[in-house]
A and B are shown apart, each in its own frame.
Chain A
Amino acid sequence: GAVVSQHPSWVICKSGTSVKIECRSLDFQATTMFWYRQFPKQSLMLMATSNEGSKATYEQGVEKDKFLINHASLTLSTLTVTSAHPEDSSFYICSAKDYGKEKLFFGSGTQLSVL
């Protein structure tokens, strides 16, 4: 089956630094990728939709200048958390849609801890 690789699995950083998370589709072309955030015991919340070659679409309440998304190729999307603060600590998960199919495949997630 289709595989989505997400790196890193976990990251600890100091407040004020930036962190980049990568999401790759390994055996299919993903014209659209999605970024979610999940707090403990909460549901996954869609942050943004990333379309290859165009600007990402952000959900209401998500700061586009803080969460920078780049989808430069059909197999790679990146999420950069800029000037991270402790309240940004969360589990970030990407998913990718195989072109022409409805199923969404998820990465393994990145646990971000900001000190």
Chain B
Amino acid sequence: EDQVTQSPEALRLQEGESSSLNCSYTVSGLRGLFWYRQDPGKGPEFLFTLYSAGEEKEKERLKATLTKKESFLHITAPKPEDSATYLCAVQAYSGGGADGLTFGKGTHLIIQP
């Protein structure tokens, strides 16, 4: 069974204080690891997809990295508007089907001005 564990559950930072969010996963065969941002009462907003260990992707203040067992979402000099819940999800190979994602519980990030 695919599993995704995110830590910490919640994180409060001062504006400009950089940090990292962790996503540990176990999956039979990783097809892709996804990061999403979710604001309260909204659906997830796509951020990144990573496919293989060593891969990195960046978007503004966010950078996602991937190893064989975990992924990190690094946030550099965050601003209050970066406050949200960040979700990690994995998609596994299943012999050709279009599979849904297995999500972690998310990290609730608060950036204080």
Tell me the A residues contacting B by CB distance below 8 Å.
4, 6, 31-32, 34, 36, 41-46, 49, 51, 91, 93, 95, 97, 102-109, 111
**Set of chain A residues within 8 Å of B34, measured between Cβ atoms:** 104
CA distance A31 to B32 in the complex (A): 19
A34-B100 in contact given A106-B43, A108-B42 (Cβ < 8 Å): yes
Interface of A is mostly: strand
- The reply to whether B44 and A44 form a contact with Cβ atoms under 8 Å apart is yes
**Set of chain B residues within 8 Å of A44, measured between Cβ atoms:** 44, 87, 89, 101, 103
Q: Which of B31-56 contact A (CB under 8 A)?
A: 31-32, 34, 36, 41-46, 49
CA distance A91 to B44 in the complex (A): 12
Tell me the B residues contacting A by CB distance below 8 Å.
4, 31-32, 34, 36, 41-46, 49, 87, 89, 91, 97-106
CA distance A105 to B31 in the complex (A): 17
- The reply to whether B100 and A49 form a contact with Cβ atoms under 8 Å apart is yes
Q: Write the chain A residue with the least CB distance to B42.
A: A108
- The reply to whether B87 and A49 form a contact with Cβ atoms under 8 Å apart is no
**Set of chain B residues within 8 Å of A4, measured between Cβ atoms:** 43
